[in-house]
Homo-oligomer: A and B are copies of this chain.
Amino acid sequence: METPVETTRERLLNVAEQRFGEGGYEGTSLRAITVAAAANIAAVNYHFGSKEALLRAAVARAMAPVNAERRRRLDQLEAGGSPAPEALIRAFVEPGLELVLRRGERGAVVARFIGRIAFDPSRRIRELYAAESEPIESRYLAALQQALPQASPDAVAFGYVNMLGLLALHQSQALSPTPGAAGPEDPGKLAENLVTFLVAAFDHGLGS
Contact = CB atoms under 8 A, between A and B. Distances in A.
Interface residues of A, number: 45
**Residue of A161, A193, A196, A205 most packed against chain B (CB within 10 A):** A205
Nearest to A176: B161
Nearest to A166: B162
A164 B155 CA distance: 20
A130 B177 contact: yes
A48 interface: no
A105 interface: no
Contacts of A176: 161
A162 B121 contact: no
Nearest to A189: B154
7 contacts: A120-B121, A127-B177, A162-B197, A164-B175, A165-B165, A165-B169, A201-B201
